[in-house]
Amino acid sequence: GAVVSQHPSWVICKSGTSVKIECRSLDFQATTMFWYRQFPKQSLMLMATSNEGSKATYEQGVEKDKFLINHASLTLSTLTVTSAHPEDSSFYICSARSLAGDLNTGELFFGEGSRLTVL
Amino acid sequence: GENVEQHPSTLSVQEGDSAVIKCTYSDSASNYFPWYKQELGKGPQLIIDIRSNVGEKKDQRIAVTLNKTAKHFSLHITETQPEDSAVYFCAAPGGFKTIFGAGTRLFVKA
């Protein structure tokens, strides 16, 4: 199957600093990538939809200035948590939909996730 | 919009027994239903999916059934093994997005 690589897998940072997480589709092109946040023992919460070459679409309640998303190419999307605070500590996961995939199938390929801990 | 409900939230079975997880959806136009397995500290992995033109799909010990009339679909795992222990999510398309169920934590006791 298609491979999505996410980096770093874990990161610890000080409060007030910014952290960037990368999501790469390794063997396919992805026009659309999604960023999720997952709290312990909960489901995936969609944060934003990232479209190559255009601005991301954020879900209600997600601060776009706090969580900067850039999708500069068909294989790379980045999520930057700006001025991180302890409440931003969470598991962040990206997913990508193949160019060839039917937009209605919901066929997604997930990254391994990035655990962010803000001290 | 699409709404997906998943039950049970926790399921404990003895090794070798079967496990069944059920999901219901609300949008009758939905046509694709994937199941994901998430192990601790990892991202979800697609384990099986079904499209609306079939009623059942099987892949070794895993099967998914779909009832379009009742708008529900189920994951069946037979001959469960300890390595099947994980969180399982069902999903359905919600327009451009994918709507996930709340997840089922499966424990397989050796």
* pLDDT of res. A106: 53
pLDDT in tens, A46-72: 999 998 888 899 999 999 999 999 988
Contact B98 A34 (CB under 8 A): yes
Task: Say if residue A83's pLDDT is above 70.
Answer: yes
DSSP states of B39-90: -TTS--EEEEEEETT-SEEEETTEEEEEETTTTEEEEEE-S--GGG-EEEEE
Residue B66, C-beta contacts closer than 8 angstroms, at least 6 positions apart? B33, B50, B52, B54, B55, B56, B72, B73
SS3 at position A4? strand
Task: Say if residue A91's pLDDT is above 60.
Answer: yes
* pLDDT of res. A108: 84
pLDDT in tens, B54-66: 899 999 999 999 9
| Cβ pair B83, B36 in contact under 8 A | no
Residue B60, C-beta contacts closer than 8 angstroms, at least 6 positions apart? none
SS3 at position A99? coil
Task: Say if residue B101's pLDDT is above 80.
Answer: yes
The radius of gyration of chain B from alpha carbons, rounded to an integer in Å, stands at: 13
Contact B98 A112 (CB under 8 A): no
pLDDT in tens, A28-53: 888 889 999 999 989 999 999 998 88
* pLDDT of res. A27: 85
Q: Does A6 touch chain B (CB under 8 A)?
A: yes
Cα separation, A119 vs A103, whole angstroms: 40
* pLDDT of res. B52: 83
Q: Could you tell me which residue, B35 or A2, shows the higher pLDDT?
A: B35
Q: Helix, strand, coil % (nearest 5) of chain B?
A: 5, 60, 40
SS3 at position B99? strand
Give mean pLDDT, residues A91-110: 76
pLDDT band at A103 (very low <50, low <70, confident <90, very high): low
pLDDT band at A6 (very low <50, low <70, confident <90, very high): very high
- CA contacts within 13 A on the Cβ side of A19: 25
Q: Does A52 touch chain B (CB under 8 A)?
A: no
Q: Does A112 touch chain B (CB under 8 A)?
A: yes
pLDDT in tens, B67-96: 999 999 999 999 999 999 999 999 998 877
* pLDDT of res. A19: 97
CA distances from B7 to B42, B74, B93 (A): 22, 10, 19
Task: Say if residue A88's pLDDT is above 90.
Answer: yes
Q: Does A32 touch chain B (CB under 8 A)?
A: yes
Any idea what DSSP says for residue A9? S
Cα separation, A114 vs A26, whole angstroms: 17
